[in-house]
Amino acid sequence: MKIYTKTGDSGITSLIGGDRVAKNHPRVEAYGDVDELLSAIGVLKAHLVGSPLADPLLPIQEYLITLSAHLANGGNQKILPPLKQEFVADLERQIDQMQECLPPLNSFMIPGPPVAAAYCHIARTVCRRAERSVVALGRDAVAPEIITYLNRLSDFLFLLSRYITLQ
């Protein structure tokens, strides 16, 4: 099978279920931002190879693929992997563990070295953009679990950057 189909050459793409929409449709923007987040976390993970800090990143990436599928669903209600509240609880558990090891924060952070911490900030800002794109779809068009997960993930990435910096 060829990678190119030529069906998008006119600026139109398909959602899951076959609905055709413009490539700048808000739903495409939302799952595109989540895809960019997935890639930004991949870069972060590449900078943490061999560190146990990389361990939670693959499950996060896998869940982002699930979120993308839900965002790309055109309403034909294809059977998709479920959205699970336990993924939010897992992020909260990891956030709490990191926060216990960190001093209180009483000023803004300037992203910078080490490189992995800087990539955390890039992933965090992409995550915030993805969250805004998802919220722009409207609360009736998006499962609330997606917004909650993205909100918590940006918190996780922020704390991970602090944790990496203080290691």
The domain limits of the chain are 25-165
Give the amino acid at 26. P
- The structural architecture, per CATH, of the domain 25-165 is Up-down Bundle (1.20)
User: pTM for the whole thing?
Assistant: 0.91
Neighbours of 2 (CB within 10 A): 5
pLDDT for position 81: 85
Contacts 24+ apart (CB under 8 A), 124-128: 124/154, 124/157, 124/158, 124/161, 126/33, 126/36, 126/37, 126/40, 127/37, 127/153, 127/154, 127/157, 128/154
Q: What is the mean pLDDT of each run of 10 residues along the chain (167 residues)?
A: 78 82 86 96 96 95 95 76 91 94 80 90 97 90 92 97 90
Q: Is the N-terminal amide bond of 114 cis, ω within 30° of 0?
A: yes
